[in-house]
A = this chain, B = another copy of it.
Amino acid sequence: MASETGRIEAFSDGVFAIAITLLILEIKIPGINDGNLSTQLAKQWPSYLSFTISFAFIGILWINHHRLFTHIRRSDHPLLILNLLLLFGVCVVPFPTAVLAAHLGRSDQRAAAVLYNATYVFVALCFNLLWRYAESQKRRLLGPEATESAVERITRLYSLVPLVYVICLGLAFVSVRASLALNGVLACFFALPPKMTWRAKE
């Protein structure tokens, strides 16, 4: 039987895949009259850095979306809307990424870093909202493999994520560098295997 949530996952996969691939379009191609190519390429380090962090962010988001939907087995109208809200955030990511790439290392980098981290906070909040809704109402949207303790562990973890991105955002006002470093550390941390042995179908 095709899963009830199959088409939501297919559409979401499409949006994630496109958003993650569009990021590369924001990196400028040095022209033939811009001077030495190697130098030009090297000078674009902010683009590579913001591309890499954004790629990791969307990639890890996809892994978590995939994971949630091994538990979420039924859908209703609010779930569709909350999922759209999350995808809204995902679609937006290439914009602050490009702004950060253009302004990192310049006098205006603070505003760019704030915009960047604010987007991440928004996405983390949407993710939280989606999961909270799915596990609410006696877990009627969850599948049978979602044990009480697994659900609680996910809920606890997901409550923390918006908080750490708020810290990132706050840090941007103090030091753009420290904020981006924390962003990178978070990406690496979330890429670690989940301790909470999230088994299900994944």
Which of A's residues lie within 8 Å of B, judged by CB? 2-4, 6-11, 13-27, 29-32, 36-38, 41, 52, 55, 59, 62-63, 66, 69, 75-78, 80-81, 84, 87-88, 91-92, 94-95, 98-99, 102-103, 106, 108, 111-112, 115, 191, 193-194, 201-202
Report yes or no: A7 in contact with B9, Cβ–Cβ below 8 A. Answer: yes
Report yes or no: B95 in contact with A37, Cβ–Cβ below 8 A. Answer: no
Select one of B29, B77, B115 contacting A26, CB under 8 A: B29
Can you list 29 residue pairs at the A/B interface with Cβ under 8 Å? A11-B16, A11-B17, A14-B16, A15-B17, A20-B91, A21-B22, A22-B25, A25-B25, A25-B94, A26-B29, A29-B98, A29-B99, A30-B99, A30-B102, A37-B103, A37-B108, A37-B111, A37-B112, A41-B111, A41-B115, A55-B88, A59-B84, A59-B88, A63-B77, A63-B80, A66-B80, A75-B202, A77-B194, A78-B193
Report yes or no: B2 in contact with A3, Cβ–Cβ below 8 A. Answer: yes
Report yes or no: B94 in contact with A24, Cβ–Cβ below 8 A. Answer: yes
Q: In the complex, what distance in Å separates the CA atom of A10 from the CA atom of B195?
A: 26
Nearest residue, chain B, Cβ from A12:
B17
Known: A10-B13, A16-B11, A202-B75. A21 touches B63 (CB 8 A): no
Q: In the complex, what distance in Å separates the CA atom of A201 from the CA atom of B4?
A: 7
Nearest residue, chain B, Cβ from A199:
B76
8 additional A-B residue pairs with CB within 8 Å, beyond A75-B202, A81-B191:
A15-B21, A17-B17, A31-B102, A32-B102, A36-B108, A55-B91, A59-B84, A76-B193
